[in-house]
C-alpha cells in the first residue's frame, strides 16, 4: 500500500462489528500518542439507557428524545484499571454494562435513528475537532470526520468476526452459542449497511484492509506502514 505524505492528525477507522477497529485503533493511537475514541461506545451508552428506561427500541421518537436529553461523558481511565476509558451517563459510570449480549442485540436498531445519530455526531465532531485523534466507528470517514487526514476501513467475513466475538465472550466467562453470535453479526451488518442515515460503507478515499486471518499486531503494523512510522 502507498504511504501518506505526512503524519495524519485525524485518523478515521471504520468497519463492521468485530472487524478489529477498536483494538487496532487503540494501538495506533498509543503508537502516535494520540487520543483514541471508539464512537460505537456512545451508541452503546444510548442503547443501555433506553433499555434501563424500559423504552421500546422500536419507538423512534422516545429513543431520539432520550438520546438528546442524556449527557454522555468519556474519561481516559488509569492504565491499571484495564479499561481504555470510563463512560458516564449523567455522571453515573456505566462502562461495565455496555458490552452485554442485550446491548449487542439492540445497538444497531437504536443507532439507525436520525435524532440519535445527529446527537452523537455533534458530540463526536467536537471531540475530533482538535486533531491528534484516532476515531473508530461505522461512519467516521463518511459522516463524522469527512475531512480526516487518513481513512481506514477494516473488513472481515461474518464467520471470522463471530469467532472473535465468541472468543471475547468466553474470556469474560459469558457463554453464548457461536451460532447466536453469528446470527447477531449478520443482523447488525444488514441493519448498518442498509439504514437510511449514515449507512456502513467505506469512504471513497479510504484504505481498505481485510483482517481475516490477521491478528491485531499485524493489522496495526499495516496501518502504521501506511502512515510511515
pLDDT digits over 115-139, tens only? 999 999 998 998 888 788 999 999 9
Residue 189 covered by a domain? yes
pLDDT band at 9 (very low <50, low <70, confident <90, very high): very high
Report how far residue 182's alpha carbon sits from residue 210's, in angstroms, rounded to the nearest whole number.
18
Q: What is the mean pLDDT of residues 112-116?
A: 93
Spatial CB neighbours of 199, under 8 Å, sequence gap ≥ 6:
139, 192, 193
pLDDT at 61: 98
Residue 229 covered by a domain? no
pLDDT at 162: 95
Residue 160 covered by a domain? yes
Residue 1 covered by a domain? no
> 153 has which bridge partners?
14, 208
Report how far residue 202's alpha carbon sits from residue 179's, in angstroms, rounded to the nearest whole number.
27
Average pLDDT, the chain: 91
Residue 227 covered by a domain? no
> 162 has which bridge partners?
none
**Which one, of 143, 33, 26, 43, lies nearest residue 85 by Cα?**
26
24 pLDDT exceeds 80? yes
pLDDT at 101: 87
User: 189 lies in which domain range?
Assistant: 10-221
Give the full edge-to-edge strand order of the sheet including 85-89. Answer: 72-76, 85-89, 92-93
Helix pair 60-69, 114-128: axis angle to 10 deg:
30
pTM: 0.81
Phi, psi of 133 (to 5 degrees): -145, 145
Residue 171 covered by a domain? yes
Domain count, the chain: 1
Residue 194 covered by a domain? yes
4 pLDDT exceeds 80? no
CB 20 within 8 A of CB 156: yes
Is residue 181 packed enough to be buried (19+ CB in 10 Å), middle (13-18) or exposed (0-12)? buried
pLDDT at 134: 95
The model's pLDDT over 25-51, given as tens digits with 9 standing for 90+, comes to 999 999 999 989 999 899 999 999 999
Residue 173 covered by a domain? yes
Q: What is the mean pLDDT of residues 170-177?
A: 89
> Residue 201: left if φ>0, alpha if ψ -120 to 50, beta else—which one?
beta
CATH number at residue 170: 3.40.50.300
The model's pLDDT over 69-106, given as tens digits with 9 standing for 90+, comes to 999 888 876 655 666 678 999 999 999 999 898 998 99
CB 169 within 8 A of CB 157: no
Relative to beta strand 92-93, strand 85-89 is antiparallel
- Reported as type and span, the H/E element at residue 36 is strand 35-38
185 pLDDT exceeds 90? yes
Amino acid at each position: 500500500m502507498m504511504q501518506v505524505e505526512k503524519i495524519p492528525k485525524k485518523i478515521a477507522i471504520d468497519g463492521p462489528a468485530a472487524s478489529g477497529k477498536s483494538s487496532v485503533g487503540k494501538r495506533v493511537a498509543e503508537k502516535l500518542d494520540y487520543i483514541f475514541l471508539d464512537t460505537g461506545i456512545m451508541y452503546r451508552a444510548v442503547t443501555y439507557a433506553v433499555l434501563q428506561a424500559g423504552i421500546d427500541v422500536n419507538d423512534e421518537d422516545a429513543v431520539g428524545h432520550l438520546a438528546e436529553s442524556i449527557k454522555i461523558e468519556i474519561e481516559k481511565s488509569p492504565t491499571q484499571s484495564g479499561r481504555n476509558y470510563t463512560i458516564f451517563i449523567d455522571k453515573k459510570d456505566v462502562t461495565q454494562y455496555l458490552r452485554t449480549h442485550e446491548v449487542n442485540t439492540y445497538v444497531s436498531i437504536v443507532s439507525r435513528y436520525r435524532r440519535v445519530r445527529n446527537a452523537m455526531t455533534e458530540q463526536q465532531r467536537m471531540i475530533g475537532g482538535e486533531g491528534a485523534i484516532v476515531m473508530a466507528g461505522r461512519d467516521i470517514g463518511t459522516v463524522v470526520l469527512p475531512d480526516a487526514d487518513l481513512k481506514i476501513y477494516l473488513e472481515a467475513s461474518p464467520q471470522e468476526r463471530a469467532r472473535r466475538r465468541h472468543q471475547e465472550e468466553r474470556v469474560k466467562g459469558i457463554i453464548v452459542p457461536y451460532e447466536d453470535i453469528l446470527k447477531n453479526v449478520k443482523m447488525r451488518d444488514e441493519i448498518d449497511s442498509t439504514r437510511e442515515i449514515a449507512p456502513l460503507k467505506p469512504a471513497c478515499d479510504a484504505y481498505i484492509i481485510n483482517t481475516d486471518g490477521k491478528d491485531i499486531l499485524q493489522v496495526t503494523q499495516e496501518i502504521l506502514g501506511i502512515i510511515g512510522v
